[in-house]
Each structure stands twice: as structure tokens, then as C-alpha cells.
Structure 1
């Protein structure tokens, strides 16, 4: 692995939080798909992740990548009980918005919009920040997520009381906090290893628009 920092002087960097699908470029060299061994493929869990430079970079430590991905999948896709998927994604989006991770915020805001069908509410979170007006249940999820992201000790009994008052049981509260905690860590990893790029112009849309 080279120690050289990769430079990307000509990329188009996003200048605002968005629900559009962004790209991402690494500052350290990822593996190439040709370099992946069976051990790396197992660590990716989903072979389609080999198309992502982020996961190809994380594949340099396959044991940690596998643990990271299995944890991620269990938090967000194990929805037999507990918090609905939309609000798990909301917790991740709010955490990412607070931490300034434009890429992660775009991914989880998009999922939150898809699963909740509340595009405007999610966009308000991105445009106006974590203190923007939201109805009580979303307010409680956002506030608890941001408090945990700020510092673990910032999460108080008052946050838990607000979540319970909004209708969350202990399992749902656990899901919200796991989603926030995971992306509080994941944001810092992604922000340390590379940067987002703006989406390519859609077909039929002028590049200057």
C-alpha cells in the first residue's frame, strides 16, 4: 500500500447537503478488483460493493470491514421489530448532518425519504439543520441522535423520556441509538479517508445547469 496521498484537484465538490446520489474519491489508494482475494470478497459481504472505492479501500483490512458491514446490515435491515426503517435512516441522516458528512447525509436522507414518503421533512433537515422544525416523534429521534453524536454523555434521561413519549419502546429506542452511534463513527471514518463529489449531470440536462 502506498503512503502517498491521492490528490483530486479537478473534482466537482458538492457545496450543500443534498438527497442526490453523490460520488466519493479516496485520499489513499484502494485495492483494485483484480487484487481481491476470496478473503476480501467474503469481507465485502455483498459483491456489488466492489464497485465502490470506499469499500475497496476498507478492504485493506478485511476482518474489520466484515465486522463493520455485518453490524451495519443488522442495524438497518433487521426490521422484524423495533424502530421502522425510515426512522433508523432518519437517525443516521441527522447524525451525518450534524457531523458535516455530506456523503453519508445524502445516502441516509434519501433512504429516509423513500421509506417515510416525507421528502419535504427530510429536505428541511438537510437545508436548515438538525434544529429545523419537525413533528414530535421525528424531533425526539433527531434530538437524541444529535446529542449522542455530540458526546455520549450528552444523551440524557430527558432524551429517552421524549422518545418514550413519542411512542418508542425500549427496542425502538435501541435501534435509534444504534443507528446514530454507528454513523457517528462511520462519518468520522469517511471524512478522514476521502471526500464526496457532485453527481454527474443527468442525461438531457445541460452541464452548466
Structure 2
């Protein structure tokens, strides 16, 4: 959706821009899968193509967040505070920002995940992206929550999703600990500077799940307030 059409969306529902934003954020972070698949093959031409697309989606997500911040009407009569919607967009945007930073750092150094840990790294990445998708699914329930007045079955559905996000985040913590241990066991065989950046990449990938849990925390707060 062109950013300049976002005002027309507000006329229908103040929730729609949040849904549009999380869709763009999730699609941005999802590109990390083909990006790391290309980098594993040392296909840096393909990796750069994916990185550029990821960067464009991150830029669009940032523009959507900015427009929402500037254009969200202040006089909306609804059970969701304007500030809560803005805070939700800020937390969502951190996922896209982190994905862009990861791809930029890896491509900039032509950094390759060691083959000894590559499979476990991809499992870890996919699990972190599971958290992003679960957060997206929870956000997509906002329209129904609003229609239901933040009561009844819809609240139970979203509450269950938030619990699932927390469980996924716990999984990613365990996977990160395991992956760091595996890297520690082989780090002496690699360039020390590259190893330093590999630890950083592992940490940044984990932030995708952390940011997803943060979105869940904000949703939970909105449920309590409504």
C-alpha cells in the first residue's frame, strides 16, 4: 500500500494501519531466510539482491510508522488509546530495523556462518521468525477485539497467542545458549574479528524474538486497559 493512501485507511479503521505495518515488518524479517541461504553458498550477488529488497521493505515500514505517528487522529472514540497504538507501531518497527542491521552487517563483512553450526543457526533463525509470525497473528486479531469490545472469546484467543509467543521466546533463549556454546568450541579455527561479529549476529537474531515478545507485552497491556 502506498504510504500516501494511509489516510483513507484511517477513515475505515484506526487499526488497519497497524495491520499494514506488521505485515510489512514480518515480510521484511522473513527475507533473512533466503539471505542466509545465499550467504551460506557464498552467493553474494544473490545475498545483495535480497538485502536490498529487505532494506526497501524496512524503509517502507519506517514510513508507515512515521505516517501513523503523525496522522493518527487525536479525537478517536475507541477503547484503545492513541499512545498505545503508536507504542505498538514503535515496537513492531524494531523487528524490521533489526533484520536490516543483521543483513547489512553480514553482507558488509561477507560474513559466513561456520558450516559446523550452520544447520543449528538456521533452526534458531526460523524459531525467532516463528515468534514474529505469532506476533503478527495476534496483531491481526485487533479488529475482531475492537468489534467484540475487548471481551469474550477474542480475548481468550489473543491471550493464548501471547502465551505462545512467550514460549517461543523461551525456546530461542535455549537455542541461543546452545549455538553460542557451539561457536565457542570452534572459534579458535576462525578469524577472531569474524568470530566477534558472529556472536553479535547470534545476539541480534535473538532480538527478533525479544521484540516479538515486547509486542505481546504491549498487547497484553492494552487488553488490561480496555
Instruction: Specify the TM-score bucket, using the shorter chain as the normaliser.
Output: 0.3 to 0.5
Name the TM-score, length of structure 2 as normaliser.
0.31
Name the TM-score, length of structure 1 as normaliser.
0.33
